[in-house]
Amino acid sequence: MTDGPLRVAILISGGGSNMVALVRSMTGDHPARPVLVLSNDPAAKGLQRAAEMGIPTAAVDHRPFRGDRAGFEAALLRPLLAARPDVICLAGFMRILTPAFIQQFQGRMLNIHPSLLPKYPGLHTHQRALDAGDTEAGCTVHEVIADLDAGPVLGQARVPVLPADTADSLADRVLVQEHRLYPEVLRRFVAGDRTPLIL
Ligand code: GRF
């Protein structure tokens, strides 16, 4: 058990809007603090946003490792382990991690997924909800296990699907809820509370 606040590493691939929401929430009496923002894309906008907020950043470009998933993950582990994280938050992180990687952090790695799991694991979740004629959609924060998007649910937030919705308009509405849900679930998680939060 590290003394002082719990250390949270956040993995991103793009804009990092969920990372920003998480970083902004870890202040005051929050028992955790962000210690690293790590991306598989050195050009990820979220790295710049993290640096502007004074958070240490690192990037390991996955492209040179094409096909060598283990090699990429070994490179990713170096800055990640150097940050001595207690909790890892995947936030818009778009690489699939191997069971070997995940088992090193099982029970302390979270992810946010833009659907009401167990519906629509994987990609294109909003278009799939529209194609199915769903009247509601949303997002899920879950513990990460080897099976993709299948770990214990820690929180969900729902939004209505409107008749004129496109995948983009629905994604925008869900993203607002992601930014509410993820920080709230993380706050409970680091306090040892794993009862699912339904917003
Ligand atoms: C969001 O839709 C999130 O659900 C998914 O990645 C998208 C972008 O997230 N995981 P962010 O803005 O990079 O946090």
DSSP code string of 129-197: HHHTT-SEEEEEEEE--SSTT-SPEEEEEEEEPPTT--HHHHHHHHHHHHHHHHHHHHHHHHTT--SPE
Spatial neighbors of 193 by CB under 8 A, at least 6 apart, are none
- pLDDT tens for residues 74-101? 999 999 999 999 999 999 999 999 999 9
Distance 84 CA to ligand 1 centre (A): 24
Instruction: Give the Cα separation of 57 and 173 in Å (integer).
Output: 29
CB 153 within 8 A of CB 196: yes
Ligand 1 pocket check for 14: Cβ under 6 Å: yes
What pLDDT does residue 190 have?
97
Verify whether residue 113 is a known catalytic residue. yes
Distance 91 CA to ligand 1 centre (A): 6
Ligand 1 pocket check for 50: Cβ under 6 Å: no
Ligand 1 pocket check for 121: Cβ under 6 Å: no
CATH of domain 1-105: 3.40.50.170
Indicate if the pLDDT at residue 6 is higher than 60.
yes
CB 92 within 8 A of CB 14: yes
Distance 1 CA to ligand 1 centre (A): 30
Instruction: Give the Cα separation of 76 and 71 in Å (integer).
Output: 9
Residue 3's pLDDT band, with cuts at 50, 70 and 90, is confident
Indicate if the pLDDT at residue 1 is higher than 60.
no
Active-site pick, 62, 113, 142, 179: 113
What pLDDT does residue 2 have?
55
Ligand 1 pocket check for 114: Cβ under 6 Å: yes
Residue nearest to atom 6 of ligand 1 (CA): 92
Q: What is the overall mean pLDDT for the chain?
A: 97
CATH of domain 112-199: 3.40.50.170
Distance 18 CA to ligand 1 centre (A): 6
- Every domain of the chain with CATH number 3.40.50.170 lies at 1-105, 112-199
Ligand 1 pocket check for 178: Cβ under 6 Å: yes
